[in-house]
Amino acid sequence: QVQLVESGGGLVQPGGSLRLSCAASRSIFSLSIMGWYRQGPGKQRELVATITNGGRTNYAESVKGRFTISRDNAKNTVDLQMNSLKPEDTAVYYCNGNATVYGRAYWGQGTQVTVSS
């Protein structure tokens, strides 16, 4: 069992930046794919970015060039650097981890990000 806890959310103005962090209760080495998802008001949950143990990344088209996902297995953390934020980025952001070999997935409780002037 792995517990995931997100932090770093808050209120920012358009064009601003935030860095979200996901802390795991134990080693994330076995979580081969880590990712960030988000769910905005009146919308379904969508994939934002993923990263493998080897550092391979994928991003949603809407955030490419603005967001950067990274992981530090030594610290058991996964971060999401968000730059040039837009009002449409407003959502609850969730951390996700997948132990693909065992077919298990883990989710955090989410952290609110609000982009408004």
The per-residue pLDDT for 15 is 98
Closest-CA residue to 66 (of 13, 17, 117, 12): 17
The per-residue pLDDT for 100 is 85
Output the DSSP codes for 34-102: EEEEEE-TTS--EEEEEEETT--EEE-TTTTTTEEEEEETTTTEEEEEE-S--GGG-EEEEEEEEETTT
CB 25 within 8 A of CB 92: no
Closest-CA residue to 91 (of 70, 65, 62): 62
The per-residue pLDDT for 68 is 98
The per-residue pLDDT for 14 is 98
At 77-116, the pLDDT tens digits run 999 999 999 999 999 999 999 998 888 999 999 999 999 9
Closest-CA residue to 20 (of 74, 73, 85, 101): 85
| 56-68 average pLDDT score | 98
Distance of alpha carbon 69 from alpha carbon 101, whole angstroms: 22
At 1, is the pLDDT very low, low, confident or very high (cuts 50, 70, 90)? confident
At 42, is the pLDDT very low, low, confident or very high (cuts 50, 70, 90)? very high
